[in-house]
Structure formats: C-alpha cells, structure tokens
A and B are shown apart, each in its own frame.
Chain A
Amino acid sequence: KQEVTQIPAALSVPEGENLVLNCSFTDSAIYNLQWFRQDPGKGLTSLLLIQSSQREQTSGRLNASLDKSSGRSTLYIAASQPGDSATYLCAVRGGSARQLTFGSGTQLTVLP
C-alpha cells in the first residue's frame, strides 16, 4: 500500500526566503505526482503535475522535482511572499491503484 510522508509538518519563514518542502513515497511505481495548495476552509488547487518520466516542472516561482527511484519529491518556492501561506499537499498516483494518495501536508506561514 502506497504511503506518502511530508516533512516538515509546519514551517514558518520570513518573507523573501527561498524554501523547500519535502515529500516521500514508498511505492515507486507511480504514474505521476501532483502538488496542491489548500487555503483554510477552501478546496485544493493544483500547482504542478510531474509525470513519472519527468524530473522536474516549473511554474513561476515554483519548481517541483521528482526522483522516482528514491521515492522523493521536493517543492521549491523562491522569494516567498505572505500570500504563499497555505497548506501544501503532495499526492502520488499509480501502481496498482489509480487513485491519488495524499501526504498529510506542510503548513507554510510566510511572515511579512
């Protein structure tokens, strides 16, 4: 059974810092990995999708990498802003199961 772990559970940084969020998964036979953002009381917004054949994806200040063989992904946020404050969720899809399996998330606070 696929298990997804996110470290750290919470992170607080001053505005302008670059930061890295970590995600690890136990079954490397995945189709893809997706990073989401969730604001309090809101739904999930997809940030980046990395296919199993890809090593990284970039969108604006966000860069996600994937090392399938080691079961790891990182989300790099450059020049963080208070508006980046949210919970970031990592989810993997694939193997014998075609659903998304989620980590427990990293709660990010960017201080002005």
Chain B
Amino acid sequence: DAGVIQSPRHEVTEMGQEVTLRCKPISGHDYLFWYRQTMMRGLELLIYFNNNVPIDDSGMPEDRFSAKMPNASFSTLKIQPSEPRDSAVYFCASSFGRSEQAFFGQGTRLTVV
C-alpha cells in the first residue's frame, strides 16, 4: 500500500480564497483523522471520522472550516474563506480500529498571504 496520500503537498493562497485539502487513507482503514500542526500549538486534532461518519469535530476552529468523507477512500478539508492565521501544516492520518497504530500522510503545508 502507498500509505496515506495527501494533496497538494504545498499550497500558497491569498487571504479570502477557498482552499481544499485532500486525503486518501490506507485501504481498509475505518478511522480518518485531520490534524493541524503549528509551532505555537503543536499537533491539534481538527476532526475525525469512523466509517465515513464525522465523530468529533470539536477541534474545527470555526465555521470557515468544513470536512467531508464521501466514501471510504477519500476525504477533504475545506477552508472558506482562508485567513493568514490558517497557515500551518495539515496532516491526515488513518487507522484500522481504535487499537491499531495510526499512519500519517506527508502533510500539506498551507500558506495564506
């Protein structure tokens, strides 16, 4: 398996624009997580899905952020409108069950100018 695949790897956008980050989890995994990493706050959970259903989105900063998982092999994280404070590295991770190890993608480095 190719692992968790995220795209794009880098994204530079202007404030106010819509940004869509994409994630393909490892085949067969039933948990998918979106994390954000910044120097100030470290790794923070934004939202996670179990069997394509959002379970906990309490980490989503505000209504500008939304996430979907239309099927078991694809998820998106959308920011609309984007702001400079959204600049961070966004990671997607997946796992099989709650007791197995989680695997992370390479991340998307987002810069909002």
Measured between alpha carbons, how far is A105 from B41 in the docked complex, in Å? Answer: 11
Per a CB cutoff under 8 Å, which of A49, A94, A97 touches B56? A97
Taking CB atoms and an 8 Å cut-off, the chain B residues in 84-108 that contact chain A are: 91, 93, 98-107
Evaluate contact between B91 and A44: CB separation under 8 angstroms.
yes
Question: Is A88 part of the binding interface, using a Cβ–Cβ cutoff of 8 Å?
Answer: no
Give chain A residues whose Cβ lies under 8 Å from the Cβ of B105.
43
Q: State whether A42 and B106 are in contact (beta carbons under 8 Å apart), knowing that A98-B50, A100-B45 are contacts in the complex.
A: yes
Query: Quick one: closest B residue to A32, CB to CB?
Result: B99
Contact A46 B33 (CB under 8 A): no
Of all chain A residues, which has the CB nearest B103? A46
Instruction: A45 to B102: give the CA distance in the assembly, Å.
Output: 10
A44, A93, A99: which has the most chain B beta carbons within 10 Å?
A99
Q: Which residues of A contact B98 (CB under 8 A)?
A: 31, 93-94, 98
Q: How far is the CA of A16 from the CA of B99 in the complex (A)?
A: 34
B99 touches A100 (CB 8 A): no
B2-24 Cβ-contact flags toward A at 8 Å (1 or 0): 00000000000000000000000
Q: Is there an interface contact between B45 and A51, defined as CB atoms closer than 8 Å? A: no
Among A51, A99, A102, point to the contact of B48 (Cβ < 8 A): A99
Interface residues of B (CB under 8 A from A): 31, 33, 35, 42-43, 45, 48, 50, 55-56, 91, 93, 98-107, 109
Mind listing 11 A-B residue pairs with CB under 8 Å? A32-B99, A43-B91, A43-B106, A46-B102, A46-B103, A51-B99, A89-B43, A91-B43, A100-B93, A102-B35, A102-B42
Q: A93-B98, A98-B98, A102-B43 are in contact. List 4 more A-B contacts (CB 8 A).
A: A34-B101, A43-B106, A51-B99, A93-B102
